[in-house]
Amino acid sequence: MALITLLTDFGLDDTYVGQMKGAILSVVPSATLVDLTHGVPPQDVQAGAFLLWCSVEVFPAGTIHLAVVDPGVGSQRRAIAVGSARGDYFIGPDNGLLIPAVDHLGGRIEAVELTKSEFWRPQPTSTFHGRDVFGPIAGHLANGIPLTQLGWFITDPIHLSLPAPHGLEGEVMYVDTYGNLITNIVGSTLPTQFQVRVGAQVIRAATHYEQVPRGELLALVGSAGLLEISARNASADALTGAGRGTPVSVVPL
């Protein structure tokens, strides 16, 4: 049974997610659809790329990942599908959204521009490629259509690089629903004992939330393997005033 994940900035107030799912299921009714998130901030390609990067490794090899954060829809930007070295497929706009996750799974082995309109919905619109192009393509891949039949080979998909830390100096990459500040500092690079500086605040390291009193900040390695700044029963972004791009530094003790 095919497994297809979905990540978009569509939100859940409108019917866009449901329509895209309908387009997929019209091609492959037996598919299992997994919603990663539809809450990517609107048109925020970097946030979408980061969330996709965080998510794909837990799925089995061969999963199809459909991601749509597409401020260039209807323009000359390309629609693409990419095969990764692990055997997964990625479908979406050629704006860098897919590539960090592809690299996370071993890198790109092939990519095509989705030029074969016979694999799209009839009479596709210029504003909803998630439903009219990407959704059906995901269905056809799930049905075993080779990537090579879906379009022309390309060697130059747009590459978006997520900000890299400089040693123990990094930045906030994302603020999650709980107000946790997820940084780009990899947990395995941290010293045994350390503190974290965010602005004028010095934050103690911990391994779990209950090591600090309620409402107090702490720094720990989160589920993505990255350093996070959190607060017990509170919001770290509210307490620190930090957001994406805020500098973060680790101080060894």
Q: Where are the domains of the chain?
A: 3-153, 169-252
Orientation of helix 135-142 relative to helix 16-27, angle to 10°: 30
- Provide mean pLDDT across the span 103-126: 97
Q: With cut-offs at 50, 70 and 90, classify the pLDDT of residue 89.
A: very high
Per DSSP, 11 falls in state -
3-state secondary structure 165-193: CECCEEEEEEECCCCCEEEEEEHHHCCCC
Closest CA to 60 of 136, 138, 5: 5
Going by DSSP bridges, is the β-strand pair 32-37/152-153 parallel, antiparallel, or unpaired?
A: unpaired
Distance from CA of residue 184 to its chain's centroid?
A: 14
Averaged pLDDT of the chain? 96
Q: Give residue-wise pLDDT tens across range 57-84.
A: 999 999 999 999 999 999 999 999 999 9
**138: CB partners within 8 A, 6+ apart:** 4, 24, 27, 64, 66, 91
Q: Give residue-wise pLDDT tens across range 212-250.
A: 999 999 999 999 999 999 999 999 999 999 999 999 999
Tell me: pLDDT of 252 over 80.
Answer: yes
Tell me: pLDDT of 107 over 80.
Answer: yes
pLDDT of residue 248: 98
Give the span between the Cα atoms of 235 and 216, in whole angstroms.
9
Distance from CA of residue 158 to its chain's centroid?
A: 16
Can you tell me which residue has the tokens 């597409």?
Answer: 70
Kindly indicate whether the domain formed by 3-153 is annotated with CATH number 3.90.1720.10. Answer: no
Closest CA to 228 of 181, 175, 192, 184: 181
Tell me: pLDDT of 186 over 80.
Answer: yes
Per DSSP, 159 falls in state P
Give SS3 for 221.
Answer: strand
Residues in the chain, overall count: 253
Closest CA to 136 of 28, 45, 53, 223: 28
Same fold, 3-153 and 169-252: no
Q: Give residue-wise pLDDT tens across range 132-184.
A: 999 999 999 999 999 999 999 999 999 999 999 999 999 999 999 999 999 99
pLDDT of residue 1: 76
- Fold for the domain defined by 169-252: Elongation Factor Tu (Ef-tu); domain 3 (2.40.30)
